[in-house]
Amino acid sequence: MFDIAVFALATLAALLLLAYFQAPILAWTLASGVLLASWAAAFEWSGTANGIVLGCFVVLGAILNVNPLRRKIVSDHVLAMFRRILPDMSQTEKEAIDAGTVWWDADLFSGKPDWNKLLAIPQPKLSAEEQAFLDGPCEEVCSMTDDWDVTHERYDLSPQVWQYVKDQGFLGMIIPKKYGGLGFSALAHSAVVLKLATRSNALSVSVMVPNSLGPAELLLHYGTEEQKNHYLPRLARGLEVPCFALTSPEAGSDAASIPDYGVVCKGQWQGKETLGMRVTWDKRYITLGPVATLLGLAFRLYDPERLLGTKEDLGITCALVATNTPGVNIGRRHLPLNAVFQNGPNSGKDVFMPIDWIIGGKEYAGKGWKMLMGCLAAGRSISLPTSSVGGAKSLARVTGAYARVRSQFKTPIGKLEGVEEALGRIAANCYMMDAVRIMTAGAVDLGEKPAVISAIAKYHMTERARKIVDDSMDIHGGKGICLGPNNWVGRGYQVIPVGITVEGANILTRTLIIFGQGAIRCHPYVLREMRAAKEMQGAAASIEFDDAFTSHIGHTLSNGVRAFVHGITSSRLGQVPRGGAPETKHYYRFTSRLAAAFAFLADVSMLAMGGALKRKEKISGRLGDVLSMLYLVSATLKHYEDQGRNREDVPLIRWVVRDALYQAQQAIDAILSNFPVKSLATLLRWTIFPLGMSFRPPLDSRNRECAQMLLEPGASRDRLTAGMYVGKGEVDPTGILEAAFLATIACEPIDEKLRKAVKKGKIVPQPGVDLGSLGIQNKIITAEEFALWRRKEALRRNVIKVDDFPQDFGRAEILAKLAQETHPAAKAA
């Protein structure tokens, strides 16, 4: 009996090793042969038994190892079944799936992330020219912009700011220098948007949009040489203000279903008969639309007279339309939650435009969806994630300062544990968000168009920004809810849902895109299987499907075994990078464990639910959450290495990683609790969590260390908020706050002297007389200390005050001021 147990354990260990290392079929066959021979010799099987086992082994080995035989007996039958159950994809779905590239997300989906590969990715850096632009024009335009003036008085940027933005090339950052643009890297583009976002949402959006998905991006990739040479220099110099019109009342997140249409026809243009289109559209939510001079327009193009070819329904098409074209209705505005960046509807009915207004010329008629999907990832990787990071940095700095300046119960509110908890979250989330911003922008600079990663960045950066602004508002209390020129939180609180909603509503991004697209694009074998089933025929399809399918089986078994082994060994066998920081090695191991668990769970979910998984959005959303957490951890760990392993930042790393791993674990638990096949769910739970769920949320002690970074001036605080605009002098409200923060800390020893004097009875508080005056009268503090204390008190009172207005909120005065600006003669009079 003992011998049987030993042999059984040895056999199990051998099989686990083969699966763990994803051994090829031949290795499995040879190992199985050795094991069978060992069993036969050890237990003296009879000749008949040996013959039966040997015969079965030879037949099975031949089927598995002789490729043509395996295809005929196994794979071709699976392929036939796969073709029957796999739903057909529309052309727009295919183009969306094929759009962009896969990058580190493929490593995570493999279940075996190569940490050496991650850390070997070059750290993205700004050029000297890019840094000079940030230090020069960016700082200048921020100093020129008064956000209260923008959001309450003008409902727009000032004419001076608009002109400066155009003159300095802000609208042409992505346009190459040969066309007159700045030709900036994605990292520089991101850094500019970040700094502007810390000053004014309207300013950052006005610069962000022309450099995201729109006319310039589409022209660079698909425009004719004539179109590029005409439009790009004008866009770079701000002579044209672009917008791109995609969203319609009937087609929001489902943008591919746009009802706007054009019909190919001949018509009169500038006195000549011209081949063109009559286009009818009704668009809304178009940023920069009300002030645009150049309208990028998406519509479905039809050719009933076959003037362009043999097809009638050509598909979605993108064109460039001058907004002064007869029939274009544009100029009215939306007001999205008091965010005053220019945004509004536009429309047209039977507007005639020449065929060569199609971006790329008539050859690109009907290719608009492919063009849009091909360009979406780069812009989505930068725009909203970066503006969210800018908001996070700004709020981290001002909220920490306010929590140190503002006192209640004779204590700075930042030292109250409830406030401290929120501050710690703000600091840690800010660190993680910046890490994701830099890593994702770096991917774009490496030539990637990371479709899935851009969705992860957009969703999670905007969601974390929402949490940060909520925490900041809670800390500021009444100061935060009273709008005015001295409120640095309120407008951010108002505008945060806009980022949540645009460029793919977050609910749909999470439930449909992150895992839905990732499961096909990032998985090492699924797309190959689908293409073999739907796009290939005959022997080529058979060979491709067989290779992908058999590899897929090995991949699934390997990840299942690895998840189990990591679970029972507390991840001690997980991969760590060579030369990685000792203080973070265990986090790489834990992340490797969850990557294997995720990959295994994803494969079993697709097998168990098939095409129904697409409709089970709660489960696919949670699978997307796990993939996202793995990416957030990866970016955080790489950021720590790239920044030189600053030990002061270790508390931030610990909070971020523990939080992400815990959230990933909880998402897996929710999937298993709601898995439709209960017996399979039980098996999955035993495999993934053999010793129970071991990941825990961040410790209170780590939270306190993170909060302290925002409550103290120094390198950690400056590093965490690097790249933001800090108000200059004691005129700007944030400049006053910064001065009050430093003065409060400098005067804490003086305040302590005064408190002790009161406690000992050396000073008797008197109504209407401040402690500082009593302190100097009683020689508790020196004249120099009194001067410092009095300045601190003046700054403190300035910081904690809130704004108030006359009954009309100053509208009469505002209108008079704007009228004088509009009519200089009236001003002179």
How far is it, in rounded angstroms, from Cα 340 to Cα 288? 11
* 317 to 296, 358, 369: CA distances (angstroms): 10, 7, 7
Number of H helices, E strands in the chain: 37, 9
CB 686 within 8 A of CB 675: no
- What percent of the chain has pLDDT above 70? 96
Span 639-695, pLDDT tens digits: 999 999 999 999 999 999 999 999 999 999 999 999 999 999 999 999 999 999 999
Would you say 322 and 348 are in contact if contact means Cβ atoms under 8 Å apart? no
User: How far is residue 581's CA from residue 646's CA, in Å, rounded to a whole number?
Assistant: 11
- What would the DSSP string read from start to end of 373-391? HHHHHHHHHHHHHHHHHHH
Lowest-confidence region among 17-26, 178-187, 434-443, 468-477: 17-26
pLDDT band for position 49 (cuts 50, 70, 90): low
State the residue for tokens 């108002």.
Answer: 494
Structure-model confidence comparison of residues 626 and 72, the more confident one: 626
The pair of three-digit structure tokens given for residue 545, joined into one six-digit string: 């499907």
State yes or no: pLDDT of 65 exceeds 70.
yes
Tell me the per-residue pLDDT of 274-294, one tens digit each, with 9 for 90 and over: 999 999 999 999 999 999 999
CA distance 164 to 161: 5
Q: Which of left, alpha, beta for 778 (phi over 0: left; psi -120 to 50: alpha)?
A: alpha
pLDDT over threshold 70, residue 328: yes
CA distance 642 to 81: 49
Phi and psi (nearest 5°) for 385?
-55, -45
**Coil, strand or helix at 125:** coil
Query: Who wins on pLDDT, 11 or 179?
Result: 179
Structure tokens at 507: 């609910």
Mean pLDDT over residues 68-74, rounded? Answer: 87
List strand residue ranges (DSSP E) for 303-442, in order. 313-322, 329-330, 343-354, 407-408, 411-412
Residue 468: is its pLDDT beyond 50? yes
Cβ within 8 Å of residue 183, ≥6 positions away: 175, 176, 177
The token duo for 477 is 């209390």
Q: How far apart are CA 297 and CA 257, in angstroms?
A: 14
Of 38-42, 259-263, 444-448, give the lowest mean pLDDT range: 38-42
Give Cα 66 distance to the centre of its chain: 46
Tokens of 46: 């009879």
pLDDT of residue 646: 94
95 a catalytic residue:
no
DSSP string, 32-69: HHHHHHHHHHHHT--HHHHHHHHHHHHHHHHHHHSHHH
Give the mean pLDDT of 64-93.
81
Which of 426, 431, 428, 506 shows the shortest CA–CA distance to 469?
426
Q: Which has the minimum average pLDDT: 172-181, 508-517, 606-615, 744-753?
A: 606-615
Q: How far is CA 286 from the centre of its chain?
A: 21
The DSSP annotation for 482-517 comes to S-STT-SSHHHHHHHHHHHHSSS-HHHIIIIIIHHH
Q: Are 245 and 298 in contact (CB under 8 A)?
A: yes
Provide the percentage of residues in the chain whose pLDDT is more than 90. 69
Mean pLDDT in residue range 105-109: 94
Can you give the pLDDT at residue 24?
84
- Out of 130, 240, 448, 503, the active site residue is 503
SS3 118: helix
Contact 194, 205 (CB under 8 A): no
What sign has the CA pseudo-torsion 286, 289, 292, 293? positive
Please state the separation of Cα 510 from the chain's center in Å. Answer: 11
Among candidate residues 362, 378, 289, the one with its CA nearest the CA of residue 328: 289
Rg of the Cα atoms in the chain? 32
* Predicted pLDDT at 780: 87
Report whether pLDDT(710) > 90: yes
Least confident of 37-41, 170-174, 343-347, 377-381: 37-41
Residue in 629, 796, 655 with CA at minimum distance from that of residue 720: 655
| Number of C-beta neighbours around residue 34 at 10 A | 11
What is the residue-averaged pLDDT of the chain?
91
Considering only CA atoms, which of 755, 794, 748, 747 is closest in space to residue 775? 755
Q: Residue for token digits 């004249």? A: 783
Q: Are the beta carbons of 586 and 571 closer than 8 angstroms?
A: yes
Does residue 746 surpass a pLDDT of 90? Answer: yes
- Stretch 270-275: mean pLDDT, rounded? 92
State the pLDDT at residue 252: 77
Q: What is the pLDDT of residues 350-360, one digit of tens each?
A: 999 999 999 99
Where is pLDDT greater, at 44 or 553? 553
Cα distance between residue 575 and residue 590, in whole Å: 9
Selection from 734, 804, 150, 742 nearest residue 399 by Cα: 734
Contact by Cβ (8 Å): 83, 534: yes
Q: Which of 224-228, 246-250, 253-257, 563-567 is predicted with the least confidence, judged by mean pLDDT?
A: 253-257
Mean pLDDT, rounded, for 165-191? 97
Neighbours of 398 (CB within 10 A): 26
- Contact, 457 vs 385, CB < 8 A? yes
> CA–CA distance from 270 to each of 273, 323, 361 (Å)?
8, 16, 19
Secondary structure class of 272 (helix, strand, coil)? strand
Gap between the Cα atoms of 515 and 624, Å rounded? 5
The C-alpha atoms of residue 45 and residue 48 are separated, in whole angstroms, by 8
Condensed to tens digits (0 to 9), the pLDDT of residues 531-574 reads 888 888 988 988 998 898 898 989 999 999 999 999 999 999 88
What number is the average pLDDT over the span 42-56?
68
pLDDT beyond 80 at 125 = yes
Q: What is the pLDDT of residue 483?
A: 95
Check whether 824 has a pLDDT greater than 60.
no
Beta bridge partners of 266: 275
Evaluate if residue 172 carries a pLDDT over 80. Answer: yes
In contact, 646 and 719? CB cutoff 8 Å:
yes
Whether the pLDDT of residue 14 is over 80: the answer is no
Provide mean pLDDT across the span 224-236: 97
Residue 118 or 781, more confident: 118
How confident is residue 180, by pLDDT bands cut at 50, 70 and 90? Answer: very high
With bands split at pLDDT 50, 70 and 90, how would you rate the model's confidence at 50?
A: low
Average pLDDT over residues 816-822: 78
What does the alpha-carbon distance between residue 740 and residue 789 come to, in Å, rounded to a whole number? Answer: 11
Task: Tell me what pLDDT residue 4 has.
Answer: 66
Q: For residue range 471-488, what is the model confidence (pLDDT) as tens digits?
A: 999 999 999 999 999 999
Of the pLDDT bands very low, low, confident and very high (cuts 50, 70, 90), residue 829 is very low
The answer to whether 671 touches 709, Cβ cutoff 8 Å, is: no
Give the integer Cα–Cα distance in Å for 173 and 182.
Answer: 5
Which residue do the tokens 């959450």 mark? 625
**Residues forming beta bridges with residue 803, ordered by sequence position:** none
pLDDT average, residue stretch 377-396: 93
Would you give the DSSP letter of residue 339? -
Q: Which residue has the tokens 């590969």?
A: 117
